[in-house]
């Protein structure tokens, strides 16, 4: 299979796709197919599967491999596909990267191994060992609320010299960190710095960031693409206006439950109510109960894009 070549640097909106599930350890296959088309119809610049929003760590390995195969076939080179290979076992990370390469995936994404706390020199040595074994370009990924650790700026600087490391997705929520990287990597125009939390997308783009991995783009892909276009065009008024819509979604649909899981539950619930796919979530979570679903329904009646 001919893998779509990754633009260098990768720019734009690359939604972290949720994984549609019928029930325990079963994909919602028609839902998955509808979801992929729904997202692509929004004009996105890539698709990221098996990330945090994709519940990758909660899925069985069998299902993860199945998902990669199905999505690759369906997309068939229309946009670059990125696959999350974060794992506590570097052996499993390599295995899934090799499989991804064979399916036509364009790049892989890796957060720090998330069981053992490691020092930064240990983390860099981990990358030094792992990167040469990967058959695809690599994005580093910070997600400290789940992994406890980030790749600190000096580690990113060193890692950016390793062949194959092409960018970083930052979900730390710290724009001081992000701006520091933008500043330190100013001469590396081929190194893509992407932001996670969509509440930070507008300012990331205005300050020179390359794009966003926006969970909300599962629901309203066009909104995030339009915001990207406005910001890149330097249209400050429109950027702010679209940013307000993003904030509205954040303070309603993502804020309905009590725990960190509210974001994921909100997105899956909205997609279900829109008739796109099932809202089943793998353990340790579960989908919203009726009361929360009613709230999401009301929000969706108030907003569309």
Work out how close the CB of 245 gets to its own copies at its nearest, in angstroms, rounded to a whole number. 10
Q: Which of 22, 179, 238, 292 binds its own copies (CB under 8 A)?
A: 179
Of residues 110 through 169, those in contact with its own copies by CB under 8 A are: 112-119, 122-123, 125-126, 129-130, 145-148
CA dihedral 60, 64, 66, 70 (to 10 degrees): 150
59 binds its own copies (CB under 8 A): yes
Q: Which is nearer to its own copies, 74 or 255 (CB)?
A: 255
216 binds its own copies (CB under 8 A): no
DSSP 3-state of 51: coil
Query: Per-residue x/- mask for its own copies, residues 65 to 104, rule CB under 8 A?
Result: -----------------------xxxxx--x---------
In degrees rounded to 5, what are phi and psi of residue 44?
-70, 165
- Length in residues, the chain: 305
DSSP 60: -
Q: Which of 43, 131, 174, 305 binds its own copies (CB under 8 A)?
A: 174
Q: Which is nearer to its own copies, 103 or 250 (CB)?
A: 250
Q: Work out whether the CA dihedral 46, 48, 54, 59 comes out positive or negative.
A: positive
289 binds its own copies (CB under 8 A): no
Q: Which is nearer to its own copies, 75 or 87 (CB)?
A: 87
DSSP 278: -
Per the CB < 8 A criterion, the answer to whether 264 and 256 are in contact is: no
Work out how close the CB of 126 gets to its own copies at its nearest, in angstroms, rounded to a whole number. 4
Of the candidates 166, 111, 101, the residue with the CA atom closest to the CA atom of residue 135: 101
282 binds its own copies (CB under 8 A): yes
Query: Helices 90-103 and 120-130 meet at what angle, rounded to 10?
Result: 40
203 binds its own copies (CB under 8 A): yes
Work out how close the CB of 58 gets to its own copies at its nearest, in angstroms, rounded to a whole number. 6
Q: Which residues of 11-30 are buried (b: 16+ CB within 10 A; e: fewer)?
A: bbbbbbbbbbbeeeeebbee
Distance CA 143, CA 146 (A): 6
Q: Which of 6, 68, 168, 200 binds its own copies (CB under 8 A)?
A: 200
25 binds its own copies (CB under 8 A): yes
28 binds its own copies (CB under 8 A): no
189 binds its own copies (CB under 8 A): no
Distance CA 56, CA 67 (A): 10
Work out how close the CB of 206 gets to its own copies at its nearest, in angstroms, rounded to a whole number. 5
Q: Which of 41, 76, 234, 298 binds its own copies (CB under 8 A)?
A: 234
Distance CA 155, CA 221 (A): 33
- The encoded tokens of residue 48 equal 């990221």
Residues binding its own copies (CB under 8 A): 24-25, 52, 57-61, 63, 88-92, 95, 112-119, 122-123, 125-126, 129-130, 145-148, 173-176, 179-180, 182-184, 186, 197, 199-200, 202-203, 206-208, 234, 236, 240, 243-244, 247-248, 250-251, 258-261, 282-286
């Amino acid at each position: 299979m001919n893998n779509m070549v990754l633009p260098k640097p990768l720019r734009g909106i690359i939604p972290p796709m949720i994984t549609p599930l019928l029930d325990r350890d079963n994909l919602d296959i028609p839902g998955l197919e509808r979801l992929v088309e729904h997202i692509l119809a929004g004009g996105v610049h890539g698709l990221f599967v098996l990330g945090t929003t994709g519940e990758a760590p909660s899925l069985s390995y069998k299902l993860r491999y199945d998902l990669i195969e199905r999505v690759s076939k369906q997309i068939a080179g229309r946009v670059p596909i990125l696959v999350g290979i974060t794992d506590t076992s570097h052996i499993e990370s390599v295995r899934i990267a090799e499989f991804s390469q064979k399916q036509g995936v364009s790049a892989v994404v890796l957060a720090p191994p998330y069981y053992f706390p490691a020092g930064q020199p240990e983390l860099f040595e981990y990358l030094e060992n792992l990167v040469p074994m990967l058959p695809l370009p690599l994005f580093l990924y910070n997600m400290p609320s789940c992994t406890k650790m980030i790749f600190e700026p000096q580690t990113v600087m060193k890692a950016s010299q390793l062949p194959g490391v092409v960018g970083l997705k930052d979900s730390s929520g710290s724009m001081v960190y992000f701006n520091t990287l933008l500043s330190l990597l100013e001469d590396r125009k081929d190194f893509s710095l992407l932001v996670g939390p969509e509440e930070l997308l507008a300012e990331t783009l205005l300050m020179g960031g390359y794009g966003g991995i926006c969970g909300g783009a599962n629901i309203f892909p066009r909104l995030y693409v339009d915001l990207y276009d406005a910001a890149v065009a330097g249209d400050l008024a429109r950027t702010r206006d679209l940013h307000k819509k993003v904030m509205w979604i954040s303070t309603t649909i993502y804020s309905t439950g009590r725990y960190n899981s509210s974001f994921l539950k909100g997105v899956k619930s909205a997609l279900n109510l829109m008739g796109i796919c099932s809202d089943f979530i793998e353990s340790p979570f579960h989908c919203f109960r009726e009361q929360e679903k009613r709230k999401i329904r009301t929000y969706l009646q108030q907003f569309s894009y």
